[in-house]
Amino acid sequence: MERNTLSPATTLPADASRMSRPQRAAAAIKDWVVERGMRPGDRLPGESELMAHFGMAKGTIREALRVLEAQGLIRTRTGPGGGAFVNEVTEARARALLGNYFYFNEISIRDIYELRHALEPLLVAQLAGTLGEGQLEQLAAVMTAYETPPETIDEAEQHRMAELDFHALLASFSENALLRFQCRFLFSLLKELTICRKIYRREIPGFRKAGRDYQSRLLQALREGDSGAAKAIMRAHLNAAQTTMEQQESVVLRQFLSESEER
Amino acid sequence: MERNTLSPATTLPADASRMSRPQRAAAAIKDWVVERGMRPGDRLPGESELMAHFGMAKGTIREALRVLEAQGLIRTRTGPGGGAFVNEVTEARARALLGNYFYFNEISIRDIYELRHALEPLLVAQLAGTLGEGQLEQLAAVMTAYETPPETIDEAEQHRMAELDFHALLASFSENALLRFQCRFLFSLLKELTICRKIYRREIPGFRKAGRDYQSRLLQALREGDSGAAKAIMRAHLNAAQTTMEQQESVVLRQFLSESEER
DNA sequence: AGATATTTGTTCGTATGTATT
DNA sequence: TAATACATACGAACAAATATC
């Protein structure tokens, strides 16, 4: 059974005419690797061989390899037996690269929660009844991180991060790689967006406890294989969280505006 | 109002210790750009200045710039007034980079349609009543590409691509950048996955006409601002399409298996 | 149209670092 | 410890592209 699901050439823009030489070289090496059906861990030819094969100087080849490295497609090691090796793109790197795109595309809390509403109820409905005891325990273990009320702002922030970890862990259990990634990307946004970071450092009475309650009930439904209940609990949880987050968002924005006026 | 929604440093792995020099340089340049709040179009210092500033040789700096170029964050021009310029990451590049991740994570037609079911009904429900006449006309224009039955296999394939373009165009009208991207990424997968490409080159009686009917009714609902109807039509459309695609998938796979046995 | 200045792009030679044997 | 095989880094020179006059 063939494992390469994507066609080779189409993975990059490929407007060959106005690409710089190193970029072309990177594309060429990539295609060369794909054609050969090389798998993660396989070693690419050394720099000198690549120079000979593609008729380009060392510097150009090196720049090409760096391009592939930046995309997460290869890693290189020095020393004997070293060289460039095919590398499986990690989820973390994929998230980071995609994050660059949204650096320029303003997104709001509402945008994120719209997606959460669309994806997470589906996620838990699928997961209900399929999780092993070990997985359920992992989820419970994450929840212990915010068992007790936070005593400092820093601790409160950590709790919020751990709550997101709970959702991210849940998503990682999905069989659907697309669903898994898209959910987990949303959580990385919720962790990194500056507006969110500001919100996490505010007191929100009752929020932590309510979240834990939802998650406990969710675990119960997942254990019992009750898809409908899991979906309903998740929906309610998201509604509550979204309301709080959007309220806090407006508070933070007002704060920011009044601070601006003070100058 | 601040425009940078993501925190600077967190956008790349940043395990500085075991990063290569050019990678560190790339990260440093990136942070330097972010700190300065530089916007797309702004010019970075020339290579020689960067060499001086970061105390690295030309080759190293160039490799760093290539890394940033590969991520779509800069573009470079030669000649006087040339140099490296901050660049807005295009959606196409973001899709391509994310595609690399899924090159190693097998995804099925079912996976994709699960996401479509979650996202596209939401999309059209939001869009209902918000589209201008120009946008509705654009959608209708795409539909003319598969107005008449295809006469060759190539033409049939083109029709399928145009149908996907219809959905992609629809998604591009969403105000939600996340929803927009996630939908359009799914369509790029449907265009590029080898299994899909094989399916598109098969005769599927009635499929084209059924698709057009759905889309016509969808346009009507969108024009009338009937969210419920738009959602329902999209759901029905997706159900039908998914059934067909999965049927064809099993046919293609059986074909592939029997071809393997012949050897 | 053509000369020129500026800036990136490419190459080569050499030296250094690093991990294996 | 030493030899090796390989990537890594540097510096200088040259080539190509492109704006401006």
Cα(B30)–Cα(B11) distance, rounded to whole angstroms? Answer: 10
Closest Cβ–Cβ partner in A5, A96, A103 for B106: A5
Whether B1 has a pLDDT exceeding 50, the answer reads no
Average pLDDT over residues A234-243: 96
Strand C nucleotides where any atom sits below 7 Å of a protein CB: 5-14, 17-21
Angstrom CA distances, B250 to A207, B162, B239, stand at 48, 24, 17
> Which residues from chain B sit within 8 angstroms of residue A98, using beta carbons?
94, 97-98
Identify the band that residue B4 occupies on the pLDDT scale cut at 50, 70 and 90.
very low
CA dihedral B64, B67, B73, B75 (to 10 degrees): 80
- pLDDT reading at B261 higher than 90: no
Q: Which of 199-258 (B) contact A at CB < 8 A?
A: none
Q: Does the nearest atom of strand C lie within 7 Å of B59's Cβ?
A: yes
Residue A78 contacts strand C, CB under 7 A: yes
Length of chain B: 263
Q: How far apart are CA A215 and CA A179, in angstroms?
A: 20
**Chain B interface mutation, best of A10, A29, A73, A89, highest count of B Cβ atoms under 10 Å:** A89
Please identify among residues 58-77 of chain B the ones whose CB lies closer than 8 Å to any CB of chain A.
59, 62-63, 66-73, 76
Average pLDDT on B5-32 reads 69
Q: What is the pLDDT of residue A205?
A: 82
Is residue B118 predicted with pLDDT exceeding 80?
A: yes
Alpha carbons B78 and A224: distance in angstroms, whole number: 64
Q: What is the mean pLDDT of chain A?
A: 89
Prediction pTM value? 0.92
What is the structure's pLDDT at B246?
A: 93
Q: Which of A2, A93, A100 sits opposite B13 (nearest CB)?
A: A93
For residue B3, what pLDDT band results from cuts at 50, 70 and 90?
very low
Q: With an 8 Å Cβ cutoff, are B5 and A194 in contact?
A: yes
> Which of A214, A223, A227, A225 is closest to A134 using CA atoms?
A223
Task: Report the C-alpha gap between B249 and B107 in whole angstroms.
Answer: 13
Average pLDDT, chain B: 89
Q: Any CB–CB contact under 8 A between B153 and chain A?
A: no
Asked if the model's pLDDT at residue B182 lies above 70, the reply is yes
Q: Is any Cβ of chain A less than 8 angstroms from the Cβ of B88?
A: yes
Residue B218 · residue B237 · CB < 8 Å: yes
Separation between Cα atoms, residue B158 and residue B150, nearest integer Å: 9
| Position B240 pLDDT exceeds 70 | yes
Query: Percent of chain B beyond pLDDT 70?
Result: 92
Task: Give distance CA B79 / C1' D16 (Å).
Answer: 9
Q: At what angle do helices B47-54 and B21-35 cross, to 10 degrees?
A: 100
Q: Which nucleotides of D are covered by protein (CB under 7 A)?
A: 4-13, 16-20
pLDDT at position A11, please?
A: 45
Distance B186 CA to C17 C1' (A): 45
Residue B55 C-alpha, separation from nearest chain A C-alpha, in angstroms:
19
pLDDT of the residue at A17:
53
The residue in chain B having the minimum alpha-carbon distance to the alpha carbon of residue A62 is B63
At position B166, the amino acid (one-letter code) is F
What is the Cα gyration radius of chain A?
23
CA distances from B236 to A42, B121, B130 (A): 45, 10, 22
In terms of phi and psi (left: phi > 0; alpha: psi -120 to 50; beta: otherwise), the region of A206 is left
Q: What is the pairing mode between strands A74-77 and B83-86?
A: unpaired
Pair B211, B237: CB distance under 8 Å: yes
- pLDDT tens-digit series, residues B136-151: 999 999 999 999 999 9
Residue B101 has pLDDT above 80, yes or no: yes
A20 part of contact set with chain B, CB < 8 Å: yes
Residue B214 contacts residue B168 (beta carbons within 8 Å): no
Mind giving me the DSSP string for B85-128? EE-PPPHHHHHHHHHHHHHSS---HHHHHHHHHHHHHHHHHHHT
| Domains in chain A with CATH codes | 16-86 (1.10.10.10), 92-262 (1.20.120.530)
| End-to-end Cα separation, chain A, in angstroms | 66
pLDDT band at A48 (very low <50, low <70, confident <90, very high): confident
| Phi and psi angles of residue A7, each rounded to the nearest 5 degrees, phi first | -70, 150
pLDDT at A4: 43
Distance set, CA B92 to CA B99, B137, B158, B189 (Å): 10, 24, 20, 12
Give yes or no for a contact between B140 and B163, defined as CB atoms under 8 angstroms apart: no
Q: Does B97 sit within 8 Å of A177, measured CB to CB?
A: no
**Pair B63, A63: CB distance under 8 Å:** yes
The percent of residues in chain A predicted with pLDDT above 70, rounded, is 92
Report the residue of B178, B200, B238, B250 to disrupt the A interface, i.e. the one with the largest count of A CBs within 10 Å: B178
Positions of E strands within A4-104: 74-77, 83-86
Secondary-structure percent of chain A, ordered helix, strand, coil, rounded to 5: 70, 5, 25
Q: Measured between alpha carbons, how far is B75 from B93 in angstroms, rounded to an integer?
A: 13
Mean pLDDT of A123-149: 95
Residues A38/A86, Cβ–Cβ less than 8 Å: yes
